[in-house]
Amino acid sequence: MQSFRTEIENPIVEKDIIELERKIREYREGKLQEDKFKSLRLARGVYGQRQQGVQMVRIKLPFGKLTTQQLLRIAAISDEYSTGNLHLTTRQDIQVHYVRLDRTPELWAKLEQDDITLREACGNTVRNVTASPEAGINPNEPFDVSPYADAVFRYFLRNPICQEMGRKFKMSFSSSDADTALSYMHDLGFIPKLQDGKRGFKVMIGGGLGAQPALAHTAFEFLEEDKVIPFIEGVLRIFDRHGERNNRNKARFKYLIAKLGLEKVLSLVNEEYKALKSQAFGIDKSINFDPAAPAPGEIPDYVIEDTDKYDKWLRTNVFRQKQEGFYGIYLKVQLGDISSDTARELVPLVQGFAANDIRVTQGQNLLLKYVRQEALPYLFSQLDAIGLAEPGFNSLADITACPGTDTCNLGISNSTNITKVLEQVIVEEYPEMLFNTDFKIKISGCMNSCGQHGMASLGFHGSSLKSGKNVLPALQVLLGGGTVSNGQGRIAQKLLKVPSKRGPEVLRFVLNDYLANRQENEHFNAYYDRNGKDYFYQLLKPLTDLTTLTPDDFIDWGHQDGFQPEIGVGECAGVMIDLVATLLYEADEKLEWAGEALEEQRYADSAYYSYAAFVSTAKALLLDKNVSTNTQHNILQEFDAHFVAPGIFRFEPDFTSRVLQINQNEPSQTFATDYLSQALVFLQEANRYRKEKVVNA
C-alpha cells in the first residue's frame, strides 16, 4: 500500500486511506472487533454484499455532479476492481460491486486522484447531499442551488458532530417548487425562495421512507441563506445527543421528532447556537458552478434510422434550459446500470457537444447540459448507437428499482428482472404512456424503500407468501404516492400481496381501469383518491388467489431454482458499538483528535471530540454495570444516577452539567483547552476505577 501515498496531495485524505488499510489489516489479524471494524468501513463507503467475501463500494458524488474525467476514472476502477458495471443510485451516487475488501484502500486512492471520495457514503453519517439534477439550468428556479449543496457537503464531511450518529441522515436541495429533489422525504430538505430580493430556503424537516414512511414538517417558510448551515449543524448536534442508539428501527430523525415534538426539537436546536462555529455561514459565491458551454463546431454526418423514436425522444427526454439556445438531455438508463464501455463511449460525445457537467438523477438516469439545438439530431444518433437514447424519461416506463436480491443482504425477492418485464409491458402494450409523467412506478427488494416504493403511484416491494408448506416470492403492492409540490408529498398506501409472477397483471389491471374510467385530464393519484383504497383492493384481490398457483410461481424473476427467502443482516443503517474496552479506546482516540484540532485552532471541532470522549467513557462504565442506555443524553443522566449520586465520581453540580458545557460556551481556545483537560481527567479516573474494580473482583 505504500505506492498510493505519494499520489495523494491532500494529507487528510491520505491519512483516511492509510487508516482504512491499517484497520483492515488489524481486522484480518483478529486485533479489531468486528462491529467496530464494520462501523469504520461503512463510513468509508465499503458495504457488505449478499455474496460472501466481496464488498459493494459506494462512490459519493455530491448532488450527482460528475465530470467526464471522473466518469472515465470510475469506469477504469470498475474494470480493475469490479465487474465493469456502474450502478447509478437514487441518492445520485455510483456503486460498484464484487470488490475484495483488501483492495478498497487502493481503489479509494485512485479515485481521489480525480477528487472522488468514498468517505461517509454509508454508515451512521450524513449521506450524500442530493439536489435537483437540473439545478443551474432549470427555467423555473429562483437561483442555482448547486453552490449550497456543495457547501453543505464540504462543511459536514469529516465533521466530528456527525461521524457516529444513531443512524444515517439525508438532505436534499430542490431547484424549484416542483421539488424534484423530494424534500418531503428527507431528514432536511431545502427549496429555494426569494423574499424581498434576498435568497433563502423553505426548510422541510423530519421526513423519511423506510418501512414506516413519514412526511416532513415545515421548519421554516423562509430561512436566510447564511443561516442554512448553522441550522443544519444545530439539528445534527441534537440528533447526535438525543437520537435513539439501541433500537435501530427507531433511530432515524423522524422518530425523534415524533417522540419530542417539532417545537421541542427546534427549541433544543436553538439552544445549540451559542456553541456553533458561526451563527452565520456565507456561501462562497466566487466558485463557478455554471459549466462552460461547448463551442460551436461542425456536425459530423449522421443518419437517423428511426424518426418516430427521435420525435418521441425530443418530446420526453429534451428540454429548453433557462440559458437561451441550449438544451438539457436526459439519458434513460435502465435499472441505473451502465457498463464501463458505454461510459467511455459517452465521454467524447459529452466533450464535443455538451458541458463538462454530467448529473446523476434521483431516478437513476443521467443528465447532459448545454447542448446546442443544431447538435440534437446528431447526438441522438450517436446516443442511440450506444443504447442511451430510449425515450420516456420520467414516464411510467422509467421505473426506479434498487438492486434487491442481486447483491443486497436485505433483499427478499427480485426487483431488477421484474422491472425489465414491466417496462417491456408498458412499451409494447401501452406506448401512449411513454408521455405520461404523473404516474410513477418504483420497486424495492424489501420494505426499506431504497427503490422509493413508498412514494410511487404504483409501488412494489419484495416479500414472500406461504402456500401450504412452500414459500413463494411475492410483491407488496402500494398505490397513491408521489410528489405534489413545494415540500408536499404523498405516501403510498399498502393494499395487498401478490405472487411476484403476477406483477405484470397488477400493472395491467390498474392501468386498464385507469385508462377506461378516468375523467378528462385526471391524473392517476386524483383517480385513486376519487375511487378510494378499497376500490383498488377489490380490483386486485383476484390476483391474490393462491389456489391457482403454477410451478413457475415458486421461481423468482430471473432465477431458475426454487425460491428461498434468505435475508441477511443489512448494513445500510450502520451498527451499534457496545464493548467496554472498545468504548474506552474510542474515548482515548477522540481525545487525541481533540488535541490535534486544538493545535490547528479548530476549537469547535476540538470541543466536540472532547464531548464525544466524555460520552464514550461514561457509556463504557455504565455498560460495565449492565446499565442500559438508548441516547447520549440518557447516558449523562444514568451516569449521574449510578456513579455521581453514590459518590463514586465527583462532579459539581453533576456530570450532566459538566458535559453539557458543550452547548453553553462559545467554541473559544480557552473553553476548548479547559474542556479537553476535563475530559482527559475523566478518562484517567475511569480507567483507574475499572482497574481497581478488576483487582478487587
Do 379 and 406 share a domain, yes or no? no
* Residue 431, in any domain of the structure: yes
Do 422 and 326 share a domain, yes or no? no
Do 436 and 497 share a domain, yes or no? yes
* Residue 502, in any domain of the structure: yes
Do 314 and 244 share a domain, yes or no? no
Q: Quick one: CA torsion of 511, 516, 522, 528, rounded to 10 degrees?
A: -50
Lowest mean pLDDT among 296-310, 539-553, 657-671, 681-695: 681-695
Give the pLDDT band of residue 694 (cuts 50, 70, 90): low
Do 427 and 343 share a domain, yes or no? no
pLDDT of residue 577: 37
Q: Which residues pair with 649 in a beta bridge?
A: none
Do 404 and 548 share a domain, yes or no? yes
Residue 279 has pLDDT above 60, yes or no: yes
- Where does a domain end: 50, 80, 112? 112
pLDDT of residue 58: 97
What number is the average pLDDT over the span 582-599? 92
Q: What CATH number does the domain containing 355 carry? A: 3.30.70.3340
Give the pLDDT band of residue 567 (cuts 50, 70, 90): low
Do 591 and 685 share a domain, yes or no? yes
Residue 450 has pLDDT above 60, yes or no: yes
Do 510 and 547 share a domain, yes or no? yes
Residue 302 has pLDDT above 60, yes or no: yes
pLDDT of residue 225: 97
Do 356 and 467 share a domain, yes or no? no
Is there a contact between 615 and 683 (Cβ–Cβ < 8 Å)?
A: no
Give the pLDDT band of residue 570 (cuts 50, 70, 90): low
What number is the average pLDDT over the span 30-45? 85
What number is the average pLDDT over the span 633-661? 97
* Residue 564, in any domain of the structure: no
Q: For 53-93, what is each residue's pLDDT tens digit?
A: 899 999 999 999 999 999 999 999 999 999 999 999 999 99
pLDDT of residue 6: 47
Q: What CATH number does the domain containing 692 carry? A: 1.20.120.330
* Residue 348, in any domain of the structure: yes
pLDDT of residue 406: 87
Do 237 and 317 share a domain, yes or no? no
Lowest mean pLDDT among 259-273, 578-592, 637-651: 578-592
Give the pLDDT band of residue 114 (cuts 50, 70, 90): very high
* Residue 574, in any domain of the structure: no
Residue 667 has pLDDT above 90, yes or no: yes
DSSP string for 47-115: EE-SSTT-EEEEEB-GGGEE-HHHHHHHHHHHHHHS-SEEEE-TTS-EEEEEE-GGGHHHHHHHHHTTT
Q: What CATH number does the domain containing 173 carry? A: 3.30.413.10
Do 220 and 140 share a domain, yes or no? yes
Do 585 and 633 share a domain, yes or no? yes
pLDDT of residue 553: 94
Task: Classify 482 in phi/psi space as left (phi over 0), alpha (psi -120 to 50) or beta.
Answer: left
Residue 4 has pLDDT above 60, yes or no: no
What number is the average pLDDT over the span 590-618? 97
- For residues 618 and 577, the model is more confident at 618
Is 384 in a helix, a strand, or coil?
helix
Q: Which of 16-20, 412-416, 468-472, 480-484 has the highest mean pLDDT?
A: 480-484
Q: For 139-162, what is each residue's pLDDT tens digit?
A: 999 999 999 999 999 999 999 999
Residue 649's domain spans which residues? Answer: 580-696
* Structural domains of the chain, count: 5
Q: For 462-519, what is each residue's pLDDT tens digit?
A: 999 999 989 999 999 999 999 999 999 999 999 999 999 999 999 999 999 999 999 9
Residue 522 has pLDDT above 80, yes or no: yes
pLDDT of residue 1: 44
Percent above pLDDT 70 for the chain: 96
- Where does a domain end: 227, 259, 275? 275
Rounded Cα gap, residues 466 and 471, in angstroms: 4
pLDDT of residue 246: 87
pLDDT of residue 574: 44
What number is the average pLDDT over the span 254-281? 96
DSSP 199: E
Q: What CATH number does the domain containing 9 carry? A: 3.90.480.20
* Residue 615, in any domain of the structure: yes
DSSP string for 629-686: --SHHHHHHHHIIIIITTTSS--SS-HHHHHGGGGTS---HHHHHHHHHHHHHHHHHH
* Residue 135, in any domain of the structure: yes
Residue 571 has pLDDT above 60, yes or no: no
pLDDT of residue 696: 65
Residue 572 C-alpha from the chain's centroid: 10
Q: For 346-405, what is each residue's pLDDT tens digit?
A: 999 999 999 999 999 999 999 999 999 999 999 999 999 999 999 999 999 999 999 988
Percent above pLDDT 90 for the chain: 84
* Residue 672, in any domain of the structure: yes
- For residues 33 and 438, the model is more confident at 438
What number is the average pLDDT over the span 192-213? 96
